[in-house]
Amino acid sequence: MVTQNELMIVTGQLLVFTLNAVIGNTMERPRWYASKGEFGDAFNILKKVREEK
């Protein structure tokens, strides 16, 4: 039989895996823009994120 502690650990791992999959494929990300062929928008976002200070 599975203990409650093991069940909670596995459920948490599944939740984190699902959230990472959703966040990685959300709109307004450089990878999403590049997959849609909008390389200019993807490049502009990367410039904002990685600008030197």
CA–CA gap between residue 32 and residue 14 (Å, rounded): 24
Supply φ then ψ for residue 26, to 5 degrees.
Answer: -75, 160
Q: What percent of the chain has pLDDT over 70?
A: 96
CA–CA gap between residue 49 and residue 9 (Å, rounded): 34
Per-residue pLDDT of 29-39, as tens digits, reads 888 899 999 99
What is the domain extent for residue 37? 22-53
Residue 23 has pLDDT above 80, yes or no: yes
CA–CA gap between residue 47 and residue 13 (Å, rounded): 33
Residue 8 has pLDDT above 90, yes or no: yes
- Please indicate, yes or no, if residue 47 is contained in any of the structural domains: yes
- Please indicate, yes or no, if residue 16 is contained in any of the structural domains: no
pTM for this one? 0.51
Number of compact structural domains in the chain: 1
Q: What pLDDT does residue 24 have?
A: 75
Residue 26 has pLDDT above 80, yes or no: no
- Please indicate, yes or no, if residue 11 is contained in any of the structural domains: no
